[in-house]
A and B are shown apart, each in its own frame.
Chain A
Amino acid sequence: MALLEVKNLGITFGGLHAVDDFNLTLEKGALYGLIGPNGAGKTTVFNLLTGVYKPTTGTFFLDGKELKGKKPAEINKAGIARTFQNIRLFKNLSVTDNVKVGLHNNMKYSAFEGVFRLPRYFKTEKSMNKKALELLSVFELDSDAETLASNLPYGKQRKLEIARAIATDPKLLLLDEPAAGMNPNETKELMDTIKFVRDKFELTVLVIEHDMSLVSGICEEITVLNFGTELAKGKTETVLQNPEVIKAYLGK
């Protein structure tokens, strides 16, 4: 069975069909790309899949479980995690604490145990710290562990967002323009990291990206969106040669 099944997903804002009839089937372990010109509805698809918006038509399933209409927090618990195009970190928390918020639902103790410092607090905090540092070292952020998130340079903030998303132990990871603002070297490094975490944490990855070197470098298959509808779909090399796609991106 496919991990993610999206059927006829659509949303209208007033009279505008922001996304219309979006279909997608992702197998476990896939690294799938979602591209399209600005305003094509890529981020809206992410917002639909994470419950920020409620779809007007269609539905979607993760591991056979219908998630349409669920709240963002419930969808995350079901196994979908995401990053944001405009970075959304917990700015006044340290880098470690950002990741530890991600671990919130995986390593638990009650508020009572926290306030009265019962043994489970110390035990869980210890394993949380260990897990957080492990994750941070994957993204080479462990030397910044005690820094405030807002004091990190831009590239590291993007990496921290991915680390925080992975901390929620998702099945499906949605990355919204992870390479935005990175130079070619950093992008190359990020590609390796994405592939590495996909294998290490057994993730399925859906990525929005404008950087074609990243898309053709890591995505096996892609969908191209234009004006909220699907323009082309299939193997990355074939789709990127498609004259329609080139027209949508570059104009006539």
Chain B
Amino acid sequence: MEKNSNSPLVKKSSSIRPATKKNLITYAVVVAFFVLFQTLSATGNLKNAYKALLVPICIYVIMAVSLNLVVGVLGELSLGHAGFMCIGAYCGSFFSVLTKDIITVTWLRFTLAFVVAAVAAAIAGILIGIPVLRLKGDYLAIVTLAFGEIIKTVVNAIYIGKDSKGFHMAMSTAGLGMEPDGQVILNGPQGISGTPRNSTFVIGFILVMITLFIVTNLMDSRTGRAIMSIRDNRIAAESVGIDVTKYKLMVFTVSAAIAGCAGVLYSHNLATLTANTNNFGYNMSIMILVYVVLGGLGNIRGSIIAAALLYSLPELLRGVRDYRMLIYSLILIIMMIVNNGSFFVALREKLKFRLKNKKGAAAESKEAV
């Protein structure tokens, strides 16, 4: 039985592990992107229209990476991701408007807003996760879809104000019954206005890096292996003692918290925050899912690139205004074919194999010397 005592693995273990190497490349891609665009915009070489894209790109990258944790790594289809972003955006804005005069240190207030939003979204994730995660596949997708719509509708129907007597909450402005000194913070469909516009590209970049750090490290750990084992074979995972519900709930919660932070970034990038179909509804959830699927399920770097590219594409194509959506959809189709078409998959495998062989041969010749 101890035939393989001089295993080839002893050699391998000294070099960097493949998972770590992959993550380092991802970090490098993001940092390079940041440095390039930060320099461009600092030296005034970036048009204002493009400059305005930088923060949203960060937001959608974060959304795509966090959704990939649910869809790609855990393997459950969630269509309500924008709902968590909505909760984060509203809670973050509410907090910032409320404390604008109390906490005057911007970075402290903004950081606290992120914490508040992350906690609120995480709690929502747990509350929704407990009943919903008993469902599988299509059923889970339908319920999460409904959840996203409900959140959007609820924030459009609520009015919250503050006066000398404290907080008031009602379903209409009149119902608030506030003192003359009162201030309406959340004004139903008119949303929250007066949020300080603190979001910058630098903060967005830092948040992307934190998201990456959490998600990639989680994937490459004991917890991540358990999560991926549930995706690959739930019955086998249970048979080796993995608590499926616990890990599903954990992924749902972490992903919701991260989406909540993206929401804060979103709401602090606007003067007025309102919830409609395009920003927190079904459309947005599907759009983020498109980024995740086209970037590759479980492929974090793919999500980043797909989100950045596909978000900025309609804007970049403004020059050919009439054909904009045509080109956009063509690019979607091409990406789909290149990523998953059998011909291109075979081609990639071949290239990979050839590259590996070349490397192996090089290493061998080195050893021979």
Is this pair of chains taken from one and the same complex?
yes
Which residues of chain A have a CB within 8 Å of any CB of chain B? 50, 52, 71-73, 76-77, 81-82, 84, 88-93, 97, 100-102, 104-105, 107-109, 111, 114-117, 121, 124-125, 128-129, 133, 137-138, 140, 142-143, 145-146, 164-165, 167-168, 196
Which 6 residue pairs across A and B have the least CB separation, nearest first? A114-B221, A76-B241, A88-B236, A72-B238, A90-B232, A111-B223
Instruction: Return chain A residues, CB-CB under 8 Å to B366.
Output: none
A114 to chain B: closest residue by CB? B221
CB <8 Å contact, A77 and B241:
yes
Instruction: Return chain A residues, CB-CB under 8 Å to B243.
Output: 73
Assembly CA distance A167 to B1 (angstroms): 17
CB <8 Å contact, A71 and B225:
no
CB <8 Å contact, B222 and A92:
no
Assembly CA distance A71 to B241 (angstroms): 9
* With known contacts A115-B214, A143-B7, A146-B18, A89–B236 Cβ distance under 8 A: yes
CB <8 Å contact, A114 and B224:
yes
B2 to chain A: closest residue by CB? A137
CB <8 Å contact, A76 and B228:
no
Interface of B is mostly: helix
Assembly CA distance A50 to B239 (angstroms): 7
- Report B152-187 residues with CB < 8 Å from chain A CB: none
CB <8 Å contact, A133 and B9:
yes
Assembly CA distance A125 to B240 (angstroms): 18
B-side interface size class: 35 or more
B5 → chain A, closest Cβ, in Å? Answer: 8
Assembly CA distance A84 to B233 (angstroms): 12
Q: Pick the residue among B8, B240, B250 that contacts A167 (CB under 8 A).
A: B240
Q: At the interface, yes or no: B290 with Cβ under 8 Å from chain A?
A: no
B244 to chain A: closest residue by CB? A73
Q: At the interface, yes or no: B242 with Cβ under 8 Å from chain A?
A: yes
CB <8 Å contact, A142 and B9:
yes
B218 to chain A: closest residue by CB? A115
CB <8 Å contact, B225 and A115:
no
Q: Pick the residue among A114, A116, A167, A196 that contacts B222 (CB under 8 A).
A: A114
A48 → chain B, closest Cβ, in Å? Answer: 13
* With known contacts A82-B239, A89-B236, A145-B9, A137–B226 Cβ distance under 8 A: no
B158 → chain A, closest Cβ, in Å? Answer: 34
Q: At the interface, yes or no: B255 with Cβ under 8 Å from chain A?
A: no
A45 → chain B, closest Cβ, in Å? Answer: 15
B213 to chain A: closest residue by CB? A115
A11 → chain B, closest Cβ, in Å? Answer: 17
CB <8 Å contact, A81 and B221:
no
Q: At the interface, yes or no: B235 with Cβ under 8 Å from chain A?
A: yes
User: What are 17 A-B residue pairs whose CB atoms fall within 8 Å in the complex?
Assistant: A73-B241, A73-B244, A76-B241, A88-B233, A88-B236, A88-B239, A90-B228, A90-B236, A93-B228, A93-B229, A101-B242, A114-B223, A121-B221, A124-B222, A125-B222, A137-B5, A145-B9
Instruction: Return chain B residues, CB-CB under 8 Å to A52.
Output: 235
B157 → chain A, closest Cβ, in Å? Answer: 37
Q: Using an 8 Å CB-CB cutoff, how does the interface string of B324-367 with A read, 1 for contact, 0 for none?
A: 00000000000000000000000000000000000000000000
CB <8 Å contact, B240 and A81:
yes
Q: At the interface, yes or no: B136 with Cβ under 8 Å from chain A?
A: no
CB <8 Å contact, A138 and B18:
no
B300 → chain A, closest Cβ, in Å? Answer: 14
Instruction: Return chain A residues, CB-CB under 8 Å to B223.
Output: 111, 114
Instruction: Return chain A residues, CB-CB under 8 Å to B316.
Output: none
Instruction: Return chain A residues, CB-CB under 8 Å to B221.
Output: 109, 111, 114-115, 121
Instruction: Return chain A residues, CB-CB under 8 Å to B134.
Output: none
Instruction: Return chain B residues, CB-CB under 8 Å to A125.
Output: 222
Assembly CA distance A122 to B54 (angstroms): 37
CB <8 Å contact, A114 and B2:
no
Assembly CA distance A77 to B243 (angstroms): 10
B18 to chain A: closest residue by CB? A146
Q: Pick the residue among B7, B218, B222, B250 that contacts A133 (CB under 8 A).
A: B7
CB <8 Å contact, A104 and B217:
no
B214 to chain A: closest residue by CB? A115
- The listed residue with most A CB atoms (<10 A of its CB), out of B13, B213, B221, B228, is B221
A177 → chain B, closest Cβ, in Å? Answer: 16
A118 → chain B, closest Cβ, in Å? Answer: 11
